[in-house]
Amino acid sequence: MLVLSRRKGEAVIIGDGIKVTVIDVKGDQIRLGIDAPRTISVHREEVYEQVLAENAAAAQTADPRSPLLRQPPRRPRTD
Amino acid sequence: MTLTTTTPVLRFPTGIPGLANVQDFVLESLAEGDEESLFDLLRSTDDSVSLIVTQPWNFFPDYAPDLPDDELAEIGIEHAEDVTMFCSVTLDHDEGCIYVNLVGPFVVNIKTHVGRQFVLSDADWPLRARVDLGTGVA
């Protein structure tokens, strides 16, 4: 892994069209500004990994003949 | 209510995270006979992968994710009426419930049939919004 030191206000350029700027540093939290082409998706890693895992779980359980899908919903709730 | 009555090929140019590199899907209603279904099957045209999906408002009427304009523009969406949205469903037979993924809605341009899965990093929508199914408690 390439490791670079940057100060607040400094940036790194990745490839032709991606610029990552250190906006602010407070304690152990760093604010990054990311300029990238529209075709590049930028996500917080942990959220992206969760969605990826949930997609895989949904694919594994995707039985269109499941009796669950024939039953009416009870009281919805969110966890 | 089902999402479609026809089955155009939906193209996800950047694929769907976790589902290999599959881009082309069809959406098939799970309605049987006269019985409507709340669910559809998003099936890859090569039959390698499929997902059960639902319109999130079937279960979560208040769902109103804030979709970034630039990501909408990427699939050519300029007007809200150009959009259809659905969310994947994970089945849990042991618990008798399903989980609707409200963090990663699928958004499709209904004019071009191009879509992508959004990942809502900043929102508080649940990744696994539970819906209990079955008879008994009303």
The CATH number linked to B90 is: 2.30.290.10
Q: How many other C-beta atoms can be found within 10 angstroms of the C-beta atom of residue A42?
A: 14
The most distant pair of C-alpha atoms in chain A lies apart, rounded to whole Å, by 58
Give the mean pLDDT of A20-49. Answer: 91
B69 belongs to a structural domain: yes
Least confident of A13-17, A18-22, B60-64, B132-136: B132-136
B111 belongs to a structural domain: yes
B3 belongs to a structural domain: no
Q: Decide if pLDDT at A29 tops 60.
A: yes
B21 belongs to a structural domain: yes
| Closest Cβ opposite residue B51 in set A38, A59, A68 | A59
What is the least distance, in Å, from the CA of B79 to any CA of chain A? 18
Which residues, 6+ apart, have CB-to-CB distance to B128 below 8 Å? A54, A79, B90, B99, B100, B101
CB B44 within 8 A of CB B24: yes
- Provide Rg for chain B, Cα atoms: 15
ipTM for this model: 0.88
- At B18-59, the pLDDT tens digits run 998 899 999 999 988 878 899 999 999 999 999 999 999 999
Question: What local confidence, expressed as pLDDT, does residue B2 receive?
Answer: 56
Domain residues for the domain of B14 are 10-132
Query: Virtual CA dihedral for B137, A77, B108, B92, nearest 10 degrees?
Result: -70
Q: How far apart are CA A52 and CA A58, in angstroms?
A: 10
What is the least distance, in Å, from the CA of B112 to any CA of chain A? 17
Under DSSP, is residue A13 helix (H, G, I), strand (E, B) or coil?
strand
Give the mean pLDDT of B102-131. Answer: 93
Distance of alpha carbon B51 from its chain centroid, rounded?
8
CB contact under 8 A, B91 and A66: yes
Q: What's the domain count of chain B?
A: 1
B88 belongs to a structural domain: yes
